[in-house]
Amino acid sequence: MKSLLGRLRQSRLASTFTILATLSAGILIGSFVTHGVRGQEAKVDTSDATPLKIPQPRELSTDFTRIAKQVGPAVVNINTITLPKEKQQGRRNPHSRQFQPQQPPDDNGDDDDDQDDGQGNFQDFFNRFFGGQGGIPDEGGQERESLGSGFIVDPRGYILTNNHVVDKADKIFVRLSTDPDGGNIQARPAKVIGVDKDTDLAVIKIDTSEPLPTVKMGNSDGAEVGDWVIAIGSPFTLSQTVTAGIVSARNRTIDQGQRGQFQHFIQTDAAINPGNSGGPLLNMAGEVIGINTAIYTQSGTYAGVGFAMPANTVIGVYNQLISTEHKVTRGSIGITFQGNLPSAVSRVYGFKSGVLISGVQPGFAADKAGLKPGDIITSVDGRPVKDGDDLVTDISARKPGSTVRVGYLRNGQQLDATVTIGDRAKMIAASSAGQEQEDNAGPAAPDASQSKLGLSVSDLPQGAPAGLHGVLIQSVKPGSFADEINLTSAQGMVIVSVNKHPVHNAAEFRTIVSGLKSGDDVVFELVDPQRPKGGSSYVGGTLR
């Protein structure tokens, strides 16, 4: 047995040595072979190889190339510095998104800087994104720098850009395309000539001893969906960056608040990123048809949808900002109205186009001319009015003190009135002061009764604002008609009429509702009891 085990051990050792010897031989042979190949490569004769030559540059000029060379010198880099401020209590988190109850738009708007910087949450998001490379306003005592773009429109140094590029900046500097890269980009100090928050536009100026190159302004009304466009700017501090795309939509509103009345953008898929803000959007004639202002993004960078303020709007604002007052003055007649009305509202109130007045500001132009809530403005100086945007565009362009003939419907009767245009800013200030003096409505008395619409309402409580009539919405039944037309969000509002029939108490409300049947259009006129002079809103639908 021991002899057998010994022979097995010897056999295993012999096999192991054989394998190792074979591997060693293979490695040596491979090394010699490799050495031999390398040696052969080194000895190859390449005397017959022809060296490559750099050819003469070929001019492959395109319209894009021509426009970039033509307009590029007039596009500037804007650098701003905001000095540290004392930390303020209750500062809003700039990354948060808060949604406020929608208020009826008006032909005034709102210049109150305390209301979300006057931009609305959606626009505020865009402005912060485009504000530049410095990030969030610092709370640690450090300077904040941001970057944007602009373009020269006057050889004496007048530059157009976005308001949010220079807003709250303590120092503004401009670098021209001819200034060397890597140099001091703060070499040319600029001063603000004027700003317009409603359109997010600003005019700044640099001193110059010689005429500067300028852009050529175009007519943005000529821009069509599908047209090629070019954007030039300084994304991510990369100055003189040129991108191309097409006009993907027109008349696009991205802020549903009051500012949205003056912001009807050209939409484009030309790539724009942080730092492009304030730069030009050009047509294929090399003309500026817009100022790049915002993009839609979920990542913080280009996602294929950008927005530019149309040149025709820009030109009108610029001409007012360089005037002696350096501000934009807009006309107003002192009304509020509701945009995007349900079709049931227009059917019940008997109009296809026009503006249904929600509220009239007491003591102002429309009130003095006899216009009332529920009237439907159908024309201005004989020109038909399509909708609220159309009305605002017309009225805001008129000078305060001028008069306009307004055609309107009241209870199906065509009437007209002469209205004196007022100063929008002054009307806003007076209206805001009046709202602060209003008393809030008292608590509602509970009422568990339900109508066939799925609404629980109650009479107005004692202490309700004088002159206010109607019933208070207490609750909405899930899945009911009222729920379907989104009256759930209107709890606490007052129904003042149903299908133009005034409502004074719960009993009257139930009488009106009892006469409704399936297939009827039902429109509720609502008033906020805490802002009874703030105008009406209208909600409606077709009863199933």
Structural domains of the chain in order of their starting residue, each with its CATH number = 61-86+94-328 (2.40.10.120), 331-436 (2.30.42.10), 455-542 (2.30.42.10)
Exposure letters 21-39 (e unless 16+ CB within 10 A, then b): eeeeeeeeeeeeeeeeeee
How many Å apart are CA 136 and CA 281, to the nearest integer?
Answer: 27
What phi and psi, each to the nearest 5 degrees, are found at residue 236?
55, 35
Q: What is the pLDDT of residues 92-146, one digit of tens each?
A: 333 323 323 334 456 654 433 333 333 344 444 444 344 444 344 444 455 667 7
pLDDT of residue 433: 59
- Amino acid identity, residue 35? H
| First and final C-alpha spacing in the chain | 102
Q: Which residue has the tokens 């202490």?
A: 463
- Alpha-carbon distance 430 to 150, whole Å? 36
Using left for φ > 0, alpha for ψ between -120 and 50, and beta otherwise, residue 266 falls in beta
Tokens 């002192």 found at: 334
Closest by Cα among 359, 358, 410, 405 to 384: 405
- Of how many residues is the chain composed? 544
pLDDT of residue 448: 31
| The CA-based dihedral angle spanning residues 431, 433, 435, 436, taken in that order and rounded to the nearest 10 degrees | 170
Reference 470, options 505, 436, 442; nearest CA is 505
| CA 471 – CA 67 distance, rounded (Å) | 63
Please give the backbone phi and psi of residue 129, each rounded to the nearest 5 degrees, phi first.
-65, -45
Per DSSP, which regions of 215-263 are E strands?
216-217, 228-233, 241-252
pLDDT given at position 143: 62
Q: Which residues, at least 6 apart from 449, have a Cβ–Cβ distance to it below 8 Å? A: 456, 457, 506, 510
Identity of the amino acid at 287: E
User: pLDDT value at position 1?
Assistant: 52
Burial class (CB in 10 A: 0-12, 13-18, 19+), 3: exposed
Strands 188-196 and 228-233: unpaired
* CA–CA gap between residue 389 and residue 258 (Å, rounded): 11
| Structure tokens that stand for 308 in this block | 């530019």
Residues 187 and 207: their CA atoms lie apart, in Å, by: 11
Q: What is the C-alpha separation between 195 and 200, in angstroms, rounded? A: 8
Amino acid residing at 413 = Q
Which residues are catalytically annotated?
A: 164, 200, 277
Contact status, residue 282 vs residue 289, Cβ threshold 8 Å: yes
Which residues does the chain have with pLDDT short of 50?
Answer: 37, 39, 86-104, 109-140, 184-185, 438-449
Token reading at 117 = 């910087």
- C-alpha 386, offset from chain centre: 23
